[in-house]
């Protein structure tokens, strides 16, 4: 038996629509629900929060400019705060795959805030004591509000979540670098043995990647701080006060403790997503860095007997349903999968960035979703990688034990006996199974004391001719 849900009649510029009686959204949102039954993907909480902040700040500025009645503004501000706080999330119902400008979602916000504000003024939902267009959307267009919300939500997520997560990871890697600095092991280039390196130096390299990733995120924030608000429909600023955008940006900056400023060129700000493509590029690079680190960690911990086995990773769960005792590097694997998703998201954002004609980009919603998902994934895996893997890594004795048997330490002999003679010693050591030191003792006139000095692995881990020239 079909249950008929109780409805009310709402109206927009296209006519009447039946809307669930308890919904705060109205006719435009209902039309969009019917038009776009595409997926289960919805705008994330961070984006809805930013949208609520923009509507609230816009109302306050419009009151100060004398263009919207103070009583209506007070109700809008209260309703928008409920959007900001997540109390009305269930009314933000629209699919990501919708109108390319995000107009449907802008109207979703306008209708929810207008109906809730009308209710706060003693009216009923749908009676429009507060009008979604004339009051909540005054001085705005979907074409400048949606990109502004995209920038603001991503900027705040980077500031409040991503940067702290990355700083924690950098700190953990630096701590391991210091702990492992006494551990000398065989370096590897092209997956082949190379001159000695300290395990701590390897981890110092990982910390350096994250340090530079943090700098790239800060650059991304500078790109996102420039917003389109104030351009309205096509960048000309029609139907908005000349001071509107600057004043709203100031309020948003003060509210969030970050810098938001009106673009100096509204036409580029609305007909491109260039700032977002650039910001996503920084996230893409960070994902590449994290994947490199995670894969190195997997390799260094491989084995434990038949692999490299130079580090022990924390055992967090059984690794096999059939092989008892097997433990896998699952935390590092999860990092790699999340990073693959971020890299894929950047590909989508890249396509979206060139998907506009003339005065508007028409792939904003999917861009907003992918950008926010990339940030959220990088936050989660950075924190999890730090706490469940990096902090618990221990060095084994396998790395130092293999240094003496390494062939590339013959590099230190090259300044003394020449490259060709050193190469011959290396090949002989490989062929016979002897160490480089043993073959050099047989094939050269160098004393044991001289060989001790030349083939000292510690001296090979720092710059200088005493350790021989670099090899690649």
Catalytically active residues are 190, 320
Asked if 375 and 432 touch (Cβ cutoff 8 Å), the reply is no
Question: Is 60 found in the same domain as 14?
Answer: yes
Residue 397, domain member (yes or no)? no
Residue 404 confidence (pLDDT): 84
Among the candidates 357, 392, 427, a domain finishes at 392
Residue 469 confidence (pLDDT): 44
Residue 186, domain member (yes or no)? no
Question: Is 177 found in the same domain as 40?
Answer: no
As beta bridge partners, residue 11 has 16
Does the structure show a pLDDT above 90 at 64? Answer: yes
Residue 258, domain member (yes or no)? no
Structural domain that includes position 106:
7-138
pTM: 0.94
Residue 247, domain member (yes or no)? no
Question: Is 21 found in the same domain as 158?
Answer: no
Cα 243 to Cα 232: distance, rounded to the nearest angstrom? 13
Dump pLDDT digits (tens) for 384-410: 999 999 999 999 999 999 998 888 888
Question: Is 176 found in the same domain as 321?
Answer: yes
Does the structure show a pLDDT above 50 at 277? Answer: yes
Q: Beta strands of 13-161 (E only): which ranges?
A: 15-20
Residue 348, domain member (yes or no)? yes
Question: In this structure, what CATH number is given to the domain that contains residue 54?
Answer: 1.10.275.10
Q: Percentage of the chain with pLDDT > 90?
A: 86
Question: Is 128 found in the same domain as 30?
Answer: yes
- Mean pLDDT, rounded, for 154-171: 98
Question: In this structure, what CATH number is given to the domain that contains residue 271?
Answer: 1.20.200.10
Tokens of 469: 């020239």
The answer for residues whose C-beta is within 8 angstroms of residue 79's C-beta and 6 or more apart is 88, 112, 113, 114, 116, 117, 120, 130
Question: Is 323 found in the same domain as 211?
Answer: yes
Rounded (5°) CA angle 456-460-464: 120
Residue 24, domain member (yes or no)? yes
Query: In Å, what is the CA distance from 386 to each residue of 160, 166, 251, 382?
Result: 18, 9, 36, 6
Q: How far is CA 418 from the centre of its chain?
A: 49
In this prediction, residue 32 has a pLDDT band, given cuts at 50, 70 and 90, of: very high
In this prediction, residue 465 has a pLDDT band, given cuts at 50, 70 and 90, of: low
Cα 142 to Cα 161: distance, rounded to the nearest angstrom? 27
Cα 230 to Cα 53: distance, rounded to the nearest angstrom? 15
- Mean pLDDT, rounded, for 2-21: 86
Question: Is 109 found in the same domain as 161?
Answer: no
Question: Is 173 found in the same domain as 67?
Answer: no
Does the structure show a pLDDT above 90 at 136? Answer: yes
- Mean pLDDT, rounded, for 146-174: 98
Residue 405 confidence (pLDDT): 87
Dump pLDDT digits (tens) for 297-328: 999 999 988 999 999 999 998 888 888 788 89
Residue 466 confidence (pLDDT): 55
Question: Is 208 found in the same domain as 129?
Answer: no
Residue 1 confidence (pLDDT): 38
User: What is the b/e burial string over 132-151, where b = at least 16 CB atoms within 10 angstroms of the residue's CB?
Assistant: bbebbbbbbbbbbbbbbbbb
Question: Is 169 found in the same domain as 103?
Answer: no
Residue 406 confidence (pLDDT): 86
Does the structure show a pLDDT above 80 at 468? Answer: no
Residue 427 confidence (pLDDT): 93
Residue 215, domain member (yes or no)? yes
Dump pLDDT digits (tens) for 80-112: 999 999 999 999 999 999 999 999 999 999 999
Question: Is 122 found in the same domain as 231?
Answer: no
Dump pLDDT digits (tens) for 194-253: 999 999 999 999 999 999 999 999 999 999 999 999 999 999 999 999 999 999 999 999
Q: Which is nearest to 282 in space by CA: 329, 346, 376?
A: 346
What does the mean pLDDT of the chain come to?
A: 94
Residue 371 confidence (pLDDT): 98
Among the candidates 106, 121, 138, a domain finishes at 138
Number of domain units in the chain: 3
Residue 470 confidence (pLDDT): 42
Does the structure show a pLDDT above 60 at 2? Answer: no
Question: Is 206 found in the same domain as 99?
Answer: no
Residue 79, domain member (yes or no)? yes
């Amino acid at each position: 038996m079909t249950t008929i849900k109780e409805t009310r009649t709402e109206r927009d510029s296209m006519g009447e629509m039946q809307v669930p009686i308890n919904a705060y959204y109205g006719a435009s949102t209902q039309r969009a629900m019917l038009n776009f039954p595409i997926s289960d993907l919805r705008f994330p909480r961070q984006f809805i929060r930013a949208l609520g902040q923009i509507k609230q700040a816009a109302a306050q500025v419009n009151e100060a400019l004398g263009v919207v009645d103070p009583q209506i503004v007070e109700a809008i501000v209260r309703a928008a705060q409920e959007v900001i706080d997540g109390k009305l999330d269930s009314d933000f119902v629209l699919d990501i795959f919708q109108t390319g400008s995000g107009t449907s979602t802008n109207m979703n916000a306008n209708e929810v805030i207008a109906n809730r504000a009308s209710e706060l003024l003693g009216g009923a939902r749908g009676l429009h004591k507060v009008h979604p267009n004339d009051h909540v959307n005054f001085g705005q267009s979907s074409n400048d509000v949606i990109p502004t919300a995209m920038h603001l939500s991503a900027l705040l997520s980077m500031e409040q979540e991503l940067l702290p997560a990355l700083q924690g990871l950098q700190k953990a890697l630096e701590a391991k670098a210091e702990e492992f600095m006494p551990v000398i092991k065989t370096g590897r280039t092209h997956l082949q043995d190379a001159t000695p390196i300290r395990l701590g130096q390897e981890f110092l390299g990982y910390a350096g990647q994250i340090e530079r990733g943090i700098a790239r995120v800060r650059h991304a924030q500078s790109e996102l701080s420039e917003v389109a608000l104030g351009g309205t429909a096509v960048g000309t600023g029609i139907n908005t006060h000349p001071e509107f955008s600057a004043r709203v940006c100031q309020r948003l900056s003060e509210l969030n403790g970050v810098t938001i400023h009106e673009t100096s060129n509204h036409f580029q700000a609305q007909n491109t997503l260039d700032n977002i493509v650039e910001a996503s590029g920084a996230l893409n690079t960070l994902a590449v860095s994290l994947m490199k680190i995670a894969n190195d960690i997997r390799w260094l911990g491989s084995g434990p007997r038949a692999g490299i086995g130079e580090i022990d990773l924390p055992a967090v769960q059984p690794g096999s349903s059939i092989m008892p005792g097997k433990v896998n590097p699952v935390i590092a694997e999860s990092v790699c999968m999340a990073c693959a998703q971020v890299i894929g998201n950047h590909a989508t954002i890249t396509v979206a960035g060139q998907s506009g004609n003339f005065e508007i980009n028409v792939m904003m919603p999917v861009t907003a979703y992918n950008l926010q998902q990339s940030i959220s994934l990088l936050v989660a895996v950075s924190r999890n990688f730090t706490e469940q893997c990096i902090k618990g890594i221990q060095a084994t004795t396998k790395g130092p034990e293999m240094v003496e048997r390494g062939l590339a330490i013959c590099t230190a002999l090259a300044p003394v006996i020449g490259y060709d003679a050193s190469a011959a010693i290396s090949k002989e050591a490989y062929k016979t199974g002897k160490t480089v030191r043993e073959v050099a003792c047989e094939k050269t006139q160098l004393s044991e004391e001289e060989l001790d000095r030349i083939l000292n692995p510690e001296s090979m881990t720092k710059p200088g001719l005493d350790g021989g020239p670099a090899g690649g």
